[in-house]
Amino acid sequence: MKALQKGDGVLEQVDGVPVRHSGASVGTGADQQISHGFSGLPDRLELIPIDSGTIFSGLSVEAGHFHVTVTSGKSWGWIAESW
């Protein structure tokens, strides 16, 4: 896994360190396309319900983004990792 390290104003990849991207959204009750920030598929994707009663369905993961349907009006988060 490679992480980014800042040095002299330049970001460089560091072997052996996971890269993690994360975000939050509110469900729409319809398919949502969310960018996970990796050019390929992440090695791990976790969906996190923030509000009680949050239901996830229809998850598909692609290079650059994922699709998921989440209960309308319910807050949720996600974490994607690559190593």
d(CA 7, CA 22): 23
Q: With 60 as the cut, is the pLDDT of residue 48 above it?
A: yes
Please tell me the predicted confidence (pLDDT) of residue 18.
Answer: 79
Q: With 70 as the cut, is the pLDDT of residue 5 above it?
A: no
d(CA 58, CA 69): 6
Sort 70 into a burial class: Cβ within 10 Å, 0-12 / 13-18 / 19+: buried
Query: The tokens of 12 are what?
Result: 């460089």
pTM higher than 0.85: no
Residues forming a β-bridge with 70: 56
